Amino acid sequence: MRLSWRRSSNAEDRFEKWIAQQHQRRVLAGETTPSGPCPDNAFLRDLARRSPQIALSDPRIDHAASCPTCMNRLLALREDLRSRRQRVVVAAAVTACAIIAIAFVVGRYAMERTPSVGNTLAVSQTVNLWDAGTVRGEQPGQLQAVSLPAALIKLTIVLPRHSAPGQYLVAITRDQNGNGAVAEGLASTGVNGGQQQIVADIDLRNARAGQYFLSTTHEQDQAAYYYPLQIK
């Protein structure tokens, strides 16, 4: 049996929230005795995301629910997911407002012209991740000989196999933890030859040459996938 996240009434929500708070207080105070070893971070991350792939019979759930160490880790992971979700929502809202404003002021003619900023034409680049390994967090995926110029780029990304459709936040960062973002862009998926792909405008004109990471974050998953990248 898999985890099922059902909707309940307001009264039930308040009652269940109160029970959860009391249990959480007891766990964090060390008043419970967990059984078995602590699960790894990957399991706790999936549990924080309420992954439907976790079975209710999994003994690691009982441990995490009664272990102060795991409980603290779960709370931190949920706060991180909430923060990422808010950043994507805000970025999407800002982008939507910008698009509406541009359409209103410039009109259809400007929208059909070749994208340019400061009389600089965008350079079309493609990054093919179809066969790339995708791992979350601190370890980069496998990306062979991929580099981008320090320019205004219309970046087409062929997403890895089995990628979910929807909106993605594309970022170029200095490390695989999402720190030091030098450029970001939002894009929605499209299908080309049976492959999911996105197209985002990325401004790397002020980026220095060197090693960076390309990350993609789905609007619902909120888990960033990182790939090594060189700016030349």
SS (H, E, C) the chain: CECCCCCCCHHHHHHHHHHHHHHHHHHHCCCCCCCCCCCCHHHHHHHHCCCCCCECCCHHHHHHHHCHHHHHHHHHHHHHHHHHHHHHHHHHHHHHHHHHHHHHHHCHHHHHCCCEECCEECEEEEEECCCCCCCECCCCCCCCCCEECCCEEEEEEECCCCCCCCEEEEEEECCCCCCCCCEEEEEECEEECCEEEEEEEEECCCCCCEEEEEEEEECCCCCEEEEEEEEC
Q: Is the pTM of this model over 0.85?
A: no
Residue 60 lies in a domain: yes
Averaged pLDDT for residues 171-200: 91
Strands 120-121 and 123-128: unpaired
Residue 43 lies in a domain: yes
Averaged pLDDT for residues 63-78: 85
Q: Is the pLDDT of residue 211 over 50?
A: yes
Residues 75, 138 share a domain: no
Q: How many domains does the chain have?
A: 2
Residues 60, 139 share a domain: no
Averaged pLDDT for residues 42-68: 80
In 3D, which of 186, 204, 196 has the Cα closest to residue 90? 186
Look up the CATH number of the domain holding residue 146: 2.60.40
Q: Is the pLDDT of residue 212 over 90?
A: yes
Residues 134, 205 share a domain: yes
Which residues, listed in sequence order, are joined to residue 154 by a DSSP beta bridge?
124, 201
Residue 2 lies in a domain: no
Residues 221, 121 share a domain: yes
Which pLDDT score is estimated for 190?
A: 92
Residue 92 lies in a domain: no
Averaged pLDDT for residues 84-97: 83
Strands 152-158 and 147-148: unpaired
- Of all residues in the chain, what percent carry a pLDDT higher than 90? 27
- Of 13-27, 34-48, 141-155, least confident by mean pLDDT is 13-27
When pLDDT is cut at 50, 70 and 90, the band that residue 1 belongs to is very low
pLDDT in tens, 115-154: 444 456 889 999 999 887 554 444 445 565 678 999 999 9
Residues 74, 124 share a domain: no
- The domain in which residue 36 lies consists of 10-79
